[in-house]
Amino acid sequence: MRVLVTGATGFVGNNVVRMLLQQGKKVRVMVRDPRADKSLAGLDIEVVQGDIKDEDNVRTAAMGADAIIHSAAMVHIGWTKEKAMRQTNVEGTRIVGLAALKHNIRLVHVSSVDALGVGQEDAPANEETPREGKTPCPYVVTKREAEEELQKLVAEGLNAVIVNPGLMFGPWDWKPSSGRMLISVIKKQPPLAPSGGGTTCDVRDVAQACINAIEQGRVGENYILGGENLSYFDLWTRIANLTGRRPPWRKLGPYIAGAVGYLSDTWATMEGKEGEVNSAAIKMGSLFHFYSSNKAKAELGYKNRPLDQTIEDAWQWFRKQGYLPA
């Protein structure tokens, strides 16, 4: 089996590539600049240069593949970069879907729980929960629109499934992505944690579910890939305790959160550049992104390893790569 992986230099994609190779699959990746990224160095893969926003590039890359795992995406929780995210997340996904439809091959689209509805502390959401309550920042909006574009193509005969991972940790987070949270807790030991929470999972378990979805799962269906549902306060405390750091001492209150969001947005307007701390990120951090993964467990064979093991492995990987002190 030959699998085309988009976003192969990213967190999910890089783990998918390595896992496919371990399982004896042939792997083709499409990257914009094959020389610019060390994340693929030394891997026995076929590299195609191209951009997912270019129909000809994607159509050519998909030729001869048996399946596509589409993990390429632009991620920024904020109010800016809408045009760039729409081009990558929406138009890029539509183009990948068209290529899969043309070549009549299976497509596994890696979306996010951020495209779904909101769970509660005592009532985790599932795939059928109404898609309301999330902060309507460009990332949330474009991930939802990307799924809508794929569903249109499914109606035309596209063989596709959609997976929605939660808050992932683990190795091979080169950029880093969600690993920035772990790095921040270890390096900065912040005293205040966001007031919400998330569904935590290991990127390697997500990668295996993506591979399973090539042959399992129903066409047009969403599958949540989550795990242990934790408040950010409890998650940060666990990270701190496992790595020998000082845990946070309380949750961020609504008044302080509102003030920080307002000041951050004002500063971004003055400077012309939005940082990671902004009102959209703070609002998203106040929500409980709690989800059930029962459907994926039943239909994709999705399994979760212990979160403590995931945190330990991620910590050691970041130390080995020099992101954190050894």
Report the SS3 class of residue 39. helix
**Average pLDDT for the chain:** 96
Residues 250 and 47 sit within 8 Å (Cβ to Cβ): no
Residue 272: pLDDT band with limits 50, 70, 90: confident
> Does position 268 have pLDDT exceeding 90, yes or no?
no
> Does position 273 have pLDDT exceeding 90, yes or no?
no
For the segment 225-233, the average pLDDT, to the nearest whole number, is: 98
Of 280, 277, 309, 284, residue with least CA distance to 232: 284
Residues 202 and 304 sit within 8 Å (Cβ to Cβ): yes
Report percent pLDDT > 70 for the chain. Answer: 100
Question: What region does 253 belong to: left with phi over 0, alpha with psi -120 to 50, or beta?
Answer: beta
For the segment 192-211, the average pLDDT, to the nearest whole number, is: 98
* Longest Cα separation, the chain: 56
> Does position 262 have pLDDT exceeding 90, yes or no?
no
For the segment 28-52, the average pLDDT, to the nearest whole number, is: 91
Token pair listed for 93: 């996904």
**Would you kindly state where each structural domain of the chain is located, as residue ranges?**
2-243+282-320
Least confident range from 23-27, 66-70, 144-148, 265-269: namely 265-269
| pTM recorded for the entire structure | 0.96
- Using a 10 angstrom Cβ sphere, with 0-12 exposed, 13-18 middle and 19 or more buried, the burial of residue 43 is middle
pLDDT computed for residue 63 by the predictor: 97
> Does position 241 have pLDDT exceeding 90, yes or no?
yes
So what's the architecture of 2-243+282-320 in CATH?
Answer: 3-Layer(aba) Sandwich (3.40)
Could you tell me which residue, 222 or 326, shows the higher pLDDT? 222
Least confident range from 97-111, 145-159, 274-288, 289-303: namely 274-288
> Does position 324 have pLDDT exceeding 90, yes or no?
yes
> Does position 18 have pLDDT exceeding 90, yes or no?
yes
pLDDT computed for residue 35 by the predictor: 75
Of 214, 278, 315, residue with least CA distance to 1: 214
CA distances from 284 to 33, 109, 279 (A): 33, 23, 9
Q: Give the single-character DSSP code of 132.
A: -
For the segment 295-321, the average pLDDT, to the nearest whole number, is: 98
Report percent pLDDT > 90 for the chain. Answer: 87
Handedness of CA 184, 185, 188, 190 (dihedral sign): positive
Rounded CA-CA distance 135/219 in Å is 28
For the segment 147-154, the average pLDDT, to the nearest whole number, is: 99
pLDDT computed for residue 306 by the predictor: 98
At a CB cut-off of 8 Å and minimum separation 6, what does 322 contact? none
Could you tell me which residue, 230 or 32, shows the higher pLDDT? 230
Residues 100 and 160 sit within 8 Å (Cβ to Cβ): yes
